Amino acid sequence: MDIKKTVSGMIDESGGLLRLEPALVSRVFLPPGKRLGLPDKDYDVGPRGYITERWIASTTEAENPIVTKDEGLSFLDVSGVLGASPITLRDAVEAAPDLIMGADYASTHKGLGRLPKFFDNDNRLPFHIHQTQRDASKLGKKSKEESYYFPPNVPMGPHPETFFGLHPYIVREGRKDLIVQYLEDWEHTDRFLSLSRAYLNMPDDGFHLPAGILHAPGSALTIELQEDSDVSAMFQGRLALRLLDKGVLTRDVPPDELKEKGMMALVDQLDWEANGDPYFYENHHTPPLPIEGKIGPDSEEWWIFYNTNKYSGTKLIVRPGKSCECFDKGAYNILVWDGEGEFGGLPVRGRSLTRDEIMVTDARAKRGVKVVNTGKEDMMIIKFFGPDINGDAPVLKKYA
């Protein structure tokens, strides 16, 4: 099959919109919060763990202990294309980058460069980091900066608070020995959180987290936007009375560094100063910010993913029975969170799995998309953009 020809035909037919199928991802850390809209029986996937994540418009494969072909990759909905075989969004972007990302953008960027997702756990995730580019590149991988948005109108779970970083005195006094002590005593790393501080997760709120910072996300259902990577090091081995295999700590450390330095190799992957920032909340808290010129009686748009040039994102609200026209600077994808209506003529419905996810090509984004709310409640749509598309996204004032 000629993928570029097929994708080109789909783009022409839809006017630049590609409907996507949901990509469900398993994890071994925790049972699910069961807020992804699946039947109860579908969350348990045996030795692979549980379905606790859904990746959105993903061109990234999940890195799990049990490898499952194409896990994490999004597929185009080719149900209306006669004789078409399954096509991943990654293959579509590789075959037709000019048609999806725009020729100019594709000439300077390899791929979409971002990964949106849900994560949905019944408890707090382990205390962990995502490697900086300095360390990820040693294994031929990419760093993982990320941002969180806690959507409204959904239960927050039993522990809706996230631990970030280390107590400032630990960094100020250079107490790296405390980290090493816990990592060497793997069976008791559930005590690790005593070295950190927690912040309450509030609906319609969020945080921005650069790579190299320790964090333990809470039980709130979270919409995340991040770099297109799945690198990590789980510093907390015991979680909810269960002991994780220590491979989740060391999987993204070069074996020679681990042999030479032992657990200090993991400590060296921390952005030490950023972990001890006494103004961590002020420098990383990202509440929604209204977009000038996009707030009106029929619709409004807010920044929710910002403070970085590696990605950006907004939430669009369209009132019942109203419509708006969206003009954007480059390719993006959407997730319909609440409500129902039409997006560029395609029927959409929030939390439906099959009608809530669309990729918008560069040309269509710039030409404009009409959004119509045909329901009786506000329609809320999340837009996800890749690196360098929205140079006007806000940057937080730096506290020091």
Residue-by-residue DSSP string for 113-170: --EEEEE-BSSPPPPEE---HHHHGGGT-----EEEEE-SSS---S--EEEES--HHH
List, for residues 333-367, the tens digit of each pLDDT value.
999 999 999 999 999 999 999 999 999 999 999 99
Q: Average pLDDT of 106-111? A: 97
pLDDT for 338 equals: 97
pLDDT for 34 equals: 97
Tell me the domain boundaries of the chain.
Answer: 23-73+112-284, 289-385
pLDDT for 240 equals: 75
List, for residues 138-197, the tens digit of each pLDDT value.
999 999 999 999 999 999 999 999 999 999 999 999 999 999 999 999 998 888 999 999
Using the predicted structure, report yes or no on whether residue 300 has a pLDDT greater than 80: yes
pLDDT for 105 equals: 98
pLDDT for 370 equals: 98
Using the predicted structure, report yes or no on whether residue 1 has a pLDDT greater than 80: no
pLDDT for 264 equals: 98
Q: CA separation (Å) from 173 to 139, 169, 176, 217? A: 31, 6, 9, 26
Partnered with residue 161 across adjacent β-strands are 200
List, for residues 171-185, the tens digit of each pLDDT value.
999 999 999 999 999
Strand ranges for 220-282 from DSSP E? 222-226, 233-234, 238-239, 242-243
Evaluate whether 23-73+112-284 and 289-385 have a shared fold.
Answer: yes
Task: Output helix, strand, coil percentages for the chain, rounded to the nearest 5.
Answer: 25, 30, 45
Q: Average pLDDT of 231-239? A: 94
pLDDT for 305 equals: 98
Strand ordering across the sheet containing 128-129: 197-200, 161-164, 215-216, 128-129, 233-234
List, for residues 207-216, the tens digit of each pLDDT value.
999 999 999 9
Report the top-level CATH class of 23-73+112-284.
mainly beta
Using the predicted structure, report yes or no on whether residue 133 has a pLDDT greater than 90: yes
Tell me the C-alpha distance between 165 and 132, whole Å. 15
Using the predicted structure, report yes or no on whether residue 132 has a pLDDT greater than 80: yes
Give residue 292's identity as a one-letter amino acid code: E
pLDDT for 150 equals: 98
The residue among 287, 299, 295 whose CA lies nearest residue 371 is: 299
pLDDT for 165 equals: 98
pLDDT for 159 equals: 96
Q: Average pLDDT of 239-264? A: 94
Using the predicted structure, report yes or no on whether residue 83 has a pLDDT greater than 80: no
Using the predicted structure, report yes or no on whether residue 321 has a pLDDT greater than 80: yes
pLDDT for 203 equals: 98
The residue among 264, 250, 150 whose CA lies nearest residue 202 is: 150
What percent of the chain is modeled with pLDDT above 90? 95
pLDDT for 396 equals: 98
Q: Average pLDDT of 56-74? A: 95
List, for residues 7-53, the tens digit of each pLDDT value.
999 999 999 999 999 999 999 989 999 999 999 999 999 999 999 99
pLDDT for 197 equals: 97
Give the pLDDT band of residue 282 (cuts 50, 70, 90): very high
The pTM (predicted TM-score) of the whole model is 0.96
pLDDT for 269 equals: 98
Domain formed by 289-385, architecture: Sandwich (2.60)
Using the predicted structure, report yes or no on whether residue 313 has a pLDDT greater than 90: yes
